[in-house]
């Protein structure tokens, strides 16, 4: 198989892998449609439900491209295995948040998960930067969104305490 075709397939698989993490969380729970969520008190800056799907789709795509860039360079840096481990850790935490918040209705635990997720994203960006500054940069919008989501999550916890 020609190298360019193989690289394109690997890129597509990396993006699909990340998108799958988001789909899995959404499939496991009825996210914004449940009466429980609709009855929660939310801050005025809470986006309408239709915003989350497109934002997360774009963020997972950027994460997939970043993963591909690091995967391609994983052997050229001693930091490669740690960078990938951090990436998969943050992706696991990302996938865990949705069932914790929407499935278990565990507001306190969801705050803990999202704060650990935020730290894991920062660690991933630092690790990625050593290998590919472009890959690290692709994760910045994700970090910004999770920062916003963290504030939103804490606000919902406070308003519903």
Please write the tens of the pLDDT for every residue from 73-96.
877 778 889 999 999 999 999 999
Average pLDDT along the chain: 92
CA distances (Å), origin 11, targets 65, 98, 112, 128, 132: 6, 26, 32, 17, 15
What is the Cα–Cα distance from 56 to 52, expressed in whole angstroms?
6
What tokens were used for 7? 């690289």
The per-residue pLDDT for 9 is 93
> Based on the structure, what is the number of domains in the chain?
1
Place of tokens 């918040």: 101
Could you list the residue range(s) of the whole structural domain that residue 61 is in?
3-159
pTM score of the predicted model: 0.93
Q: Assess whether pLDDT exceeds 70 at residue 114.
A: yes
**If residue 144 lies in a helix (H) or strand (E), which one and from where to where?**
helix 140-159
pLDDT one-digit tens code per residue, 24-78: 766 665 555 678 999 999 999 999 988 988 999 999 999 999 999 999 987 777 8
CA distance 152 to 15: 27
User: In this structure, what token pair is assigned to residue 26?
Assistant: 């959404």
Query: 29: domain CATH number?
Result: 1.20.1260.100
Average pLDDT, integer, range 3-20: 92
């Amino acid at each position: 198989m020609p190298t360019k075709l193989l690289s394109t397939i690997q890129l597509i698989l990396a993006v699909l892998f990340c998108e799958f993490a988001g789909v899995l969380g959404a499939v496991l729970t009825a996210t914004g449609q449940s009466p429980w969520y609709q009855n929660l008190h939310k801050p005025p800056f809470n986006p309408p439900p239709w915003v989350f799907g497109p934002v997360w789709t774009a963020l997972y795509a950027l994460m997939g491209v970043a993963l591909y860039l690091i995967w391609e360079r994983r052997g050229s840096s001693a930091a490669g295995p740690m960078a990938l481990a951090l990436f998969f850790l943050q992706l696991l935490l990302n996938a865990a948040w949705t069932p914790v918040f929407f499935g278990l209705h565990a507001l306190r635990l969801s705050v803990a998960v999202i704060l650990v997720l935020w730290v894991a994203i920062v660690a991933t960006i630092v690790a990625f930067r050593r290998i590919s500054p472009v890959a690290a940069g692709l994760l910045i919008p994700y970090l910004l969104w999770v920062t916003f989501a963290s504030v939103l999550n804490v606000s919902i916890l406070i308003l519903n305490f």
